[in-house]
Amino acid sequence: MTEDTNKAVWVVAEQDDGTLHDVGLELLGKAAELAEQIGGTTAAVIAGADVAPLADPLIAHGAETVYTINDERLATYTTLPYARAIADLAREKRPEIVLFGATMLGRDLAPRVASDLQCGLTADCTDLKIGDYTDTRTGTDYKNLLYQIRPAFGASIIATIVSPDHRPQMATVREGVFPLLDPDESRTGEVVEVEPTLTDEEMVARVIDRVTEEKAVNLKSAQVIVSGGAGVGSADNFKLIRELADALGGEVGASRAAVDGGYIDRDHQVGQTGTTVRPKLYIACGISGQVQHRAGMQEAGTIIAINNDPDAPIFQIAHYAIVGDLNEIIPKLIHAYKSKA
């Protein structure tokens, strides 16, 4: 199918030095689902200096059309030229929905594009759906709107936000919220080369140097995560969490209370303002299970919770509940695992 511009679901994909960011690929899987529901098509938009080779992986992940915006001046991300190029393309093609990853780049770029197009934008969505809406003030019925779903008011409620009157409907979505589906190399799609019109005005910012720091922890792709919370009690006692993670070959995660308590670095935080994870196994130790923590780990394949409070909310989503003192239970788990391994 070629792209029906009025019903297209776009994903603005990200790349760095020719490597695609996972979040764009995750979003393409969701875009295909949304497009099917509104009877539309999917497209990816990718900008940079030499992005043509990235069209194939984007098609394999579900893009029916890939817009490649190639320009030497887009080699390194800066806000204005990227925003101009994408907004101009959207003005011409009039997509129904445009999705961005809620990455540093996406959080910078999406508001600029939205403001240029004068449409709404919901940041940091944790889910997207298609649904109808009736404006009770005017009695107007709207069909097939994008429900932009995210926690609001300190995560005390889950808000569903719609943009009934303006197009495109735009949202940024957190990494890891949607699964990264396997690519299908047999898929075919159309590649459309786009020549951006950039003026000196957009090129006011120049990147002189870039310093990248490798993340010490890779929670997103970990298959096993052992997380500690305030119940661990101290930075020193966090070695128990590391020992269990090491024994299982997993990564160390943490609740925000553990991070705020100085037990562990912020890179390890799981949850609404940390990383969203989907490991096969998640072991929550001394974590109460507040909604902001659960938002980042409830899609784990198996959840084991260790907590000395039998009424801790974490037990509502745990597949296995161990009620007791983590200081006694974790050494027993390590011993049991090592003696069987």
Residues found in the chain: 341
User: Considering only CA atoms, which of 119, 128, 114 is closest in space to residue 86?
Assistant: 114
- Residue among 255, 264, 283, 318 that touches ligand FAD (CB under 6 A): 255
- Angstrom distance (rounded) from CA 49 to CA 32: 27
Nearer to ligand FAD, 119 or 321 (CB): 321
327 sits near ligand FAD (criterion: CB under 6 A): yes
- Residue among 41, 163, 169, 288 that touches ligand FAD (CB under 6 A): 288
CB-based contacts of 18, cutoff 8 Å, min separation 6:
48, 50, 51, 53, 54
230 sits near ligand FAD (criterion: CB under 6 A): yes
Say if residues 176 and 275 touch (Cβ distance below 8 Å).
Answer: yes
- Angstrom distance (rounded) from CA 18 to CA 57: 12
290 sits near ligand FAD (criterion: CB under 6 A): yes
292 sits near ligand FAD (criterion: CB under 6 A): yes
276 sits near ligand FAD (criterion: CB under 6 A): no
- Residue among 63, 258, 300, 304 that touches ligand FAD (CB under 6 A): 258
Helix axis angle, 104-117 to 79-93, nearest 10°: 50
CB of 180 to ligand FAD, least distance (A): 21
- The piece of 11-19, 90-98, 178-186, 228-236 that touches ligand FAD (CB under 6 A) is 228-236
Phi-psi bin for 242: left (phi > 0), alpha (psi -120 to 50), beta? Answer: alpha
309 sits near ligand FAD (criterion: CB under 6 A): yes
> How many helices (H) and strands (E) would you count in the chain?
8, 17
Within residues 9-28, the interface with ligand FAD by CB under 6 A covers: none
- Residue among 225, 248, 287, 333 that touches ligand FAD (CB under 6 A): 287
Written as one string, the DSSP assignment of 77-120 is: --HHHHHHHHHHHHHHH--SEEEEE-SHHHHHHHHHHHHHHT--
- The piece of 61-69, 166-174, 176-184, 319-327 that touches ligand FAD (CB under 6 A) is 319-327
271 sits near ligand FAD (criterion: CB under 6 A): yes
CB of 279 to ligand FAD, least distance (A): 16
253 sits near ligand FAD (criterion: CB under 6 A): no
Say if residues 71 and 88 touch (Cβ distance below 8 Å).
Answer: no
Give bridge partners of residue 178 from the DSSP assignment: none
248 sits near ligand FAD (criterion: CB under 6 A): no
Query: For the chain, how long is the longest CA-to-CA vector?
Result: 69
- Residue among 229, 250, 253, 279 that touches ligand FAD (CB under 6 A): 229
Say if residues 163 and 120 touch (Cβ distance below 8 Å).
Answer: yes
Residues at the contact surface with ligand FAD, assessed by CB under 6 A: 154-155, 229-231, 255-258, 269, 271-274, 286-288, 290, 292-293, 296, 306-309, 312, 325-327
